[in-house]
Amino acid sequence: MKKVLFVYGYGGSPESSMCQLFRQFLPHDRFEVVSYVYPQHDCAQAVAFLDEVVRREGIDLVIGTSLGGFITLAFETRVPKVVVNPCMKPTVELPLLTPRPDHPDDVQPSPELVATYAPFEQRLFASSHLDDSITGFFAEGDELLGTKYVENFATQFGPVHMIPGSHFGNIPGVQAIAAALTAS
């Protein structure tokens, strides 16, 4: 059985709808999906914490969405990685976020929080990381990031797959990812 670490995006949680969809659509006899609360306020702390989880828990695959996708790419530990609608440039995208009216817990990212992502962003884009163990899935209808990072991801990291849906996920998008993961 593959142990999968799900890394949620900014303001998310281990109980996010995306995590629940992966738990629902990845076959239970082949995948166990776990997720942990991690310190999003500081990229170095988030990477260190989740990197340790990967090593300690014997994680076989990491799935990161949005900002969690960026953090997943920043991991030191070599483990197969899947990123979904990754926030490739947090220093550009996080300041653009505004709290959503229907999400009372949303918080505007502070300049201090954004600054913690800059060194990792610079390191990730300093050289090519082409690696067949890193796969990107991008939603055709991503209302938050669009498809502007698709070409950059393909050039910098590896294979790209377009999926139906939006930034925050939906059943057809997660089903497409689950089908790709079960086929491999």
Six token digits for residue 152: 């950059």
Q: For residue 44, what are the domain limits?
A: 2-183
Instruction: Specify the number of domains making up the chain.
Output: 1
Mean pLDDT of 160-173: 92
Mean pLDDT of 97-124: 86
Q: Is the pLDDT reported for residue 37 higher than 80?
A: yes
DSSP H or E run through 83 = strand 81-84
* 2-7, strands of its sheet edge to edge: 31-34, 2-7, 61-65, 81-84, 134-139, 160-163
Q: Which of 65, 70, 72 is nearest to 19 (CA)?
A: 65
3-state SS of 102-146 is CCCCCCCCCHHHHHCCHHHHHHHCCCCCCCCCEEEEEECCCCCCC
Q: Is the pLDDT reported for residue 129 higher than 70?
A: no
Assign residue 26 the CATH number of its domain. 3.40.50.1820
pLDDT tens per residue, range 38-49 = 999 999 999 999
Residues pairing with 65 in the sheet: 84
pLDDT tens per residue, range 9-23 = 998 899 999 999 999
What is the biggest distance separating any 2 CA atoms in the chain, rounded to whole angstroms?
A: 43
- The DSSP 8-state label assigned to residue 94 in this structure reads G
Residue 181 pLDDT grade (very low, low, confident, very high; cuts 50, 70, 90): very high
Go through the chain and tell me how many residues it has.
184
Do residues 116 and 42 make contact, with C-beta atoms less than 8 angstroms apart? yes
Higher pLDDT, 105 or 119: 119
Q: Is the pLDDT reported for residue 36 higher than 70?
A: yes
